Structure 1
Amino acid sequence: MEHFVWNLDPVLIEMFGLKVHWYGALFAAAIAAGFQVMKRIYTKEGLPVESLDNLLIYCVIGIVVGARLAHCLFYDPDFYLSNPMKILAIWEGGLASHGGGLGAIIALFYYHKQMKLPFLFLLDRLAIATAIFGFFVRMANFANSEILGEPTDKPWGIIFSRVDLLPRHPAQLYEAIAYLLTFVCLYLIHKHTQLKQKHGAIFGLFLVMIFSARWAIESVKVSQTAYQEQFVTAGQALSIPFLIVGFVLLASAFISKKD
């Protein structure tokens, strides 16, 4: 069986000794796409677009710090607790999306205190932008041949030749598709329905859709932990609290009589 071979040069362009990597370019595209989605939403709802500059700064810091700490503490705690200075070595790789999500929520809480807007109202809008952000980040992982799936004989298996010659589940693409479908769904709900009036409903739906997909996809991922996992993967275990919060928010939004 012929399988698609993926062997993308991680360097997008090199000029005058400077290199631009695919990962960096796609991560920048993720930030730009998320910002543009928020700008469109703010413009449509008559919110102060100029305040988004602060939100962008807070979220980028929250995502990077949260993702790095989560990776260090949940995926390889022994190494990083023994070498704490290595926690700062982000350029060596290691960001966990669960921690990035929590970091973004904390950043948004700080922003909401400044703006005097309801926290769940803002979370609903940020969830839409986060979905498209996640799509580009997972495409960056695909470009970098990282976050690999287990070997498979399925016809859609991909050989990441920079890693080995085994056809594998393209776990990054599975997640990218999940993020893209979630973005389209949430954006259309926000644009064409009144669900956005029920604070927390869109964010709750985001959590349920994304972390249900994460739970399923984790079963075909190569383990990213430095220790033996029991019963469930670290990614699945970290998804459980987000799923619970998502279901609670959805239930609360529909049970509440207040819009």
Structure 2
Amino acid sequence: MLNELYHSLNPVAISIGSLHIYWYALAYLAGFVLTGIVIYRVSRRWGLDITGDEVANIIVAMAWGIIIGARLFYVLFYGDGYYFANPLKIFALNEGGMSFHGGLVGAIVGGSLMCRSCHLSIPTVCDLGVIGAPLGLFFGRCANFVNGELWGKPTDLPWGVVFETGGNVARHPSQLYEAILEGLVIFSVLWMMSRRRPAHPQGTFMGTFLVLYGVFRFLIEFVRVPDAQLGYLLGPITMGQLLSLPLVLLGIVVLAWATRAKRPQIGHVG
């Protein structure tokens, strides 16, 4: 039957002797590269004087920020005390455990520090960055699906998938729901918005991204099984939902500021 699709994907993309390259690592790499391409192309469309070298520097800074922030937030909000009892495990990135919300904060901090060094407008670079970021989310969630992790609740829908680690029951492929909504849908919306000339004011893209991601993530969490070590926190509410609500509120504030201030997109400052 269609609702008995079995997950049998190998998380290892390439093996060369004892060297294993995982799809998850390739997903991160693809996300960073494509985000850099999007930043450069949109900045050209907007007539900004941001060079290819500056874009590369921003991507490297954002990458470090994402890795550090995503791991730090996971340790603090999802670790449930495990990492405080086993501090060396904080550095065991090969065992998994990354938080999108922390990655977002890390990307903003890392990118902002590089912007200050290059004398680039932080709000404009944030707007440029979130246009490409959903592509990274798309590949990342697809990698979650390949790994057979972060699956959803049991379902009798025809596209339910039986995951090896999820018991002998068809489950929502919530990773793919997130890949589509948080990845492709948000990217499509922001990409179409970026084609307007003159460009939307500073903050418009960041605000839109925060609202859409927060709403989509909050809704998908209802069909996604929460982390085993945390479970549900407040009735049916999960940690992912608690961390997503502030994003929606912050996005609304940023959009209100963008509408009121109407600051044009610029490249270099000072």
TM-score w.r.t. length of structure 2? 0.89
Q: What amino acid is the match of 1:192?
A: R
Identity of aligned residues (%): 34
In the comparison of the two structures, how many residue pairs are matched? 258
Contact 1:10 1:21 in 2 (8 A): yes
Letter in 2 for 1:234: M
Deviation by residue 1:179-238 (Cα, 9 ceiling, x = unmatched) = 1111111011111354x3411011100111111000000111111152351232100101
Q: 1:5 to 1:225 in 2, by over 3 A?
A: closer
Deviations 1:74-133 (A, max 9, x none): 012311112222111111110011100110011121022112222211111000111111
Aligned residue among 156, 176, 181 for 2:179: 176
Distance 2:106 2:185 in 1: 23
The answer to whether 1:129 aligns with 2:113 is no
Correspondence for 2:66 = 63
> Whole-Å Cα distance in 1 between the matches of residues 98 and 32 of structure 2?
16
Which residue number in structure 2 is paired with residue 2 of structure 1?
2
Does the 8 Å CA contact 1:43/1:49 hold for their aligned counterparts?
A: no
Aligned to 1:22: 23
1:200 match: 203
Structure 1 residues 124 and 225, CA gap change in structure 2 (3 angstroms): farther
Q: Match of 2:123, as an amino acid?
A: L
Q: CA RMSD in A?
A: 1.7
- Shift in alpha-carbon separation, 1:257–1:72, aligned structure 2, 3 A: closer
Structure 1: which amino acid aligns with 2:31? A
Deviation of 1:139 after TM superposition, in Å, equals: 0.8
Does residue 166 in structure 1 map to residue 203 in structure 2? no
Q: Which amino acid aligns with 2:201?
A: K
Structure 1 residue aligned with 2:191, among 187, 190, 196?
187
* Gap runs ≥5 in structure 1: none
Higher mean alpha-carbon deviation, 132-141 vs 45-54, is at: 45-54
> d(CA) in 2 for partners of 1:157 and 1:31?
31
Work out the CA distance in 2 between the residues paired with 1:172 and 1:227: 19
Q: Is the 8 A contact 1:72 1:87 kept in 2?
A: yes
Any idea what SS the aligned residue of 2:248 has?
helix
Give 1:47 shift. 1.5
* Whole-angstrom distance in 2 between the partners of 1:188 and 1:257: 19
